[in-house]
Structure formats: structure tokens, C-alpha cells
Amino acid sequence: MDRRHEDLADDSGRREAELAEWRRIVQLLAVHDGPYDPDTDAVVQEELAADRHRKEAEQQCLQEQQQIAGRADESPPTAVRSDTPRKPGPAAG
């Protein structure tokens, strides 16, 4: 795409989302005395907590998969049942 026409591209609402975020930050700064601090921004902290929760869930899922795979490796091979028909072998002679 030609850079001169980037502003005409369909951004699927990204521009509106970015503007809303900037408005939120400006409003936060308007009521806060001092510089912006992400450590005191509730939205940022909620996003970070959600990221940590997602990573912990992914790690737990991975551990469970590894445990299942480990158990499958440790289980003894399935025994052949005595009522299973056997193929006849070559005649002894």
C-alpha cells in the first residue's frame, strides 16, 4: 500500500480504540498530580494480571500434558488375551 494513503486503510476499529485509550490516559493525568505511572493505572494492572493468569493457565495445561505423556510412557504394554484367536504358524515338520 502506498504510504500516502495509509490513513484511508480499513483499520478495523484500531484507530478508535487507540483514541479511546489516549483519552483515558489524558483523563487519568488530569485528575492525577504528577507524571503518569503505569503501576497506579488500574487498567494496566488488570491487563498485566490477566496476562499472568493466562500464562499460568498455559503452564498448568502444559504440565498436565507432560504428566499424561509420562504416565503413558510408564504404563506396561497391553497383554494379549488368551481368548484372542491366533494365526496358525508354519507346520512343524
What is the rounded CA–CA span in Å between residue 25 and residue 36? 8
Mean pLDDT for back-to-back runs of 10 residues, the chain (93 residues): 58 87 87 81 92 96 91 68 62 58
Question: Residue 55 corresponds to which amino acid?
Answer: K
> Which one-letter DSSP state was computed for residue 27?
H
Grid cell at residue 85: 484367536
pLDDT at position 1 is: 47
Closest CA to 17 of 46, 43, 52: 43
